[in-house]
Structure 1
């Protein structure tokens, strides 16, 4: 990175890695981060509220898991079809419009006595709007932060996501108990409004640049949209490293089952609503600590070799649920699982950096589609298993199958990495600015943290 860039963004010296403080010194990024923090806090409170509401109304682990799966499955459609909006329209405007639309939909969900089917439809609509927002945010980030500062910024976003999940889930149980479901959803709607204001007033506008460096236009014909989807699929599919790392990211489908089963698991243990929040917070707590440790203590050139082992490690602790341990032990196992999930963040950052700006939103959307679809299916299947057996049995089986899947994905990643002969590192294996033609690197991790 040149001295001019360090001066313009308040970055670190060349002889030390960028820190979280370096990224927060960049005012537009700081505002983007603030909006994200508020929105995630509200989202997690709302997830606790919906989980408790559905389980209280139905007493069904399968239906509770189905409702939770609805926060993932819409991306199967929204990822390919809507993420490209971040490449066709101004990215700041895309984020503001989707935030405002989600605020309105969640406010409708907060109406007391809303029928469960209507809640589900609104939840699907809210989740579909998340796809263009996340794609726009991930695409604009490399233009706010450069070089190693970009990697640190992506890590901060991931750490913030996990930490805000912990806080939101931990406070969500008592808050829902104290206020009720409707006010908790109202809090979520308000955070979307605040996020829209912060992003709208605090970020510069940005359009995707075409191959010639000229910003793209907003042409929205069906043929153009299909062409963009096809191009995004080619970008992702032609690189063995991207394919392998997306497979590693999808291992989270076996880990996320613990979130969909939190309410029935707490009921199985004879615990109350507060325990639901603690169970939901356990995995994000581990992930938040793991992300900091991985990005600050592990050298960039070592991180690629850890992705496979960490993916396996994220599933192994779940097998311990087969012994039906008490609540504190379950929380501890899920925290350890979250620690290993930290590999998602450097992989995610490298994926975004590897894709040319003109296709970054669409390619990211397709990667998120694979991730979220597998997560939704995982939650749904685990709910059916929990209904037929027990929540601990379903979690343990998910962990066992996840170990096998993680081993296969890890081997594929090792072959792809060795075959490419590239040092992918934590930032794409290069000190070039993200998005430059020479920047190699992989994949998508946790989408909301991207």
Structure 2
């Protein structure tokens, strides 16, 4: 299996890695600032869920169209335009962030850009590298992302406390601009020339048929859905748990985000150093079980150090699972349908998150945040069981 040194020797990968790393710096600051801002403006778990629901709505509405378009258009051009669009929106929040309605509208519009960027970015990587290099390539991108969390998440909480929300959103806007400039020089083979262009919805349905018709892709989709039903609420409402149950403020919330990052930073090391076949079903679906057990711990504990340690384990499961999951999906998806399959997976993920957020916000406000994490843990355990039993069926008993 290829290592990080092998993939960084590819100039196109270095450019892609650099652009996504710079963008991640801004995203980390923006994530912390936006969660704190919307909780400050609304004062409820349902309010926090609503801003994420606005982001999800864009995916559900546009992904069926975005997937076929990504398969038609040059992937790099799609990524550059999406970054520039989101940079303008991030700049809007610099000067106008005192209204929850504005936050919801901007969150929706920024998600529109992501609907196009994400399938294009996932399609680019297999075009730059071979199948055996995908785990190392995704590990490199993930490592940069989690290091950004470790370093910048606590600083983001401090920045918001000291300087306010404007500077945090300004950093995100600048990061999008830099990412777009770096990506503009990326050269990668575009979508397949043999794609027959028809109606967008017909092309979208063909992508769904590719996803449903393959046993492995079906298993990945099922795991994706169950995980989304869990993580949608638990991720968005972590700020509520930090404030109400752990008694932590902005800095404490940043610490919890950093704990996830520390655990996630170990994931690529485990995959590249300790395993030879990281795309095996065990390494794809077992991380769901680890994350499920962590959610159960989070439902029980009231101690910030225990919660931070548990979230470090959650981060380990998140990074190892995401790297192996995405690498397997990229390797097994036909090149001509990448945009549509990846967009379909985004729809599955975001639809599950939407249901999770709607239920999670109500459950948190009605029964308390513990209920959300208990249910989230059980759903992740179900995701692990579903994937492992589907791809590793019990052998049939011999007839007598």
TM-score by length of 2: 0.91
Change in 2 beyond 3 A, CA 1:249/1:300: same
**Cα separation, 1, equivalents of 2:3 and 2:387:** 31
**Residues 1:293 and 2:270 aligned together:** yes
Partner deviation per Cα, 1:53-91 (whole Å, 9 max, x = no partner) = 111122112211222343444322232221322211111
**Cα separation, 1, equivalents of 2:235 and 2:32:** 10
Report deviation, 1:123: 0.7
Give the one of 242, 260, 276 matched to 2:236. Answer: 260
**Cα separation, 2, equivalents of 1:376 and 1:114:** 25
Moved over 4 A (4+): none
Give the one of 221, 224, 231 matched to 1:249. Answer: 224
My pick for the range that moved more, 342-351 or 187-196, is 342-351
Give the one of 204, 215, 228 matched to 2:203. Answer: 228
Give the one of 100, 103, 121 matched to 1:119. Answer: 103
Report deviation, 1:238: 0.1
Show structure 1 runs of 5+ residues with no match: 1-16, 420-450
**Cα separation, 2, equivalents of 1:80 and 1:158:** 27
TM-score by length of 1: 0.81
**Cα separation, 2, equivalents of 1:49 and 1:301:** 35
Residue equivalent to 1:313? 290
**Residues 1:282 and 2:265 aligned together:** no
Q: Where is the helix percentage greater, Structure 1 or Structure 2?
A: 2
Contact kept? 1:237, 1:243, Cα under 8 Å: yes
Provide the aligned length of Structure 1 versus Structure 2: 393
**Residues 1:332 and 2:309 aligned together:** yes
Residue equivalent to 1:411? 389
**Residues 1:381 and 2:359 aligned together:** yes
Change in 2 beyond 3 A, CA 1:71/1:329: farther
Change in 2 beyond 3 A, CA 1:180/1:287: same
Give the one of 206, 209, 219 matched to 2:192. Answer: 209
Contact kept? 2:232, 2:352, Cα under 8 Å: no
Contact kept? 1:158, 1:345, Cα under 8 Å: yes
Report deviation, 1:230: 1.1
**Cα separation, 2, equivalents of 1:77 and 1:138:** 20
Report deviation, 1:374: 1.3
**Cα separation, 1, equivalents of 2:361 and 2:256:** 16
Residue equivalent to 1:57? 41
Report deviation, 1:132: 1.4
Contact kept? 2:234, 2:372, Cα under 8 Å: no
Contact kept? 1:51, 1:68, Cα under 8 Å: no
**Cα separation, 1, equivalents of 2:59 and 2:152:** 23
Residue equivalent to 1:397? 375
My pick for the range that moved more, 51-60 or 79-88, is 79-88
Give the one of 131, 138, 141 matched to 2:125. Answer: 141
**Residues 1:99 and 2:83 aligned together:** yes
**Cα separation, 1, equivalents of 2:353 and 2:152:** 21
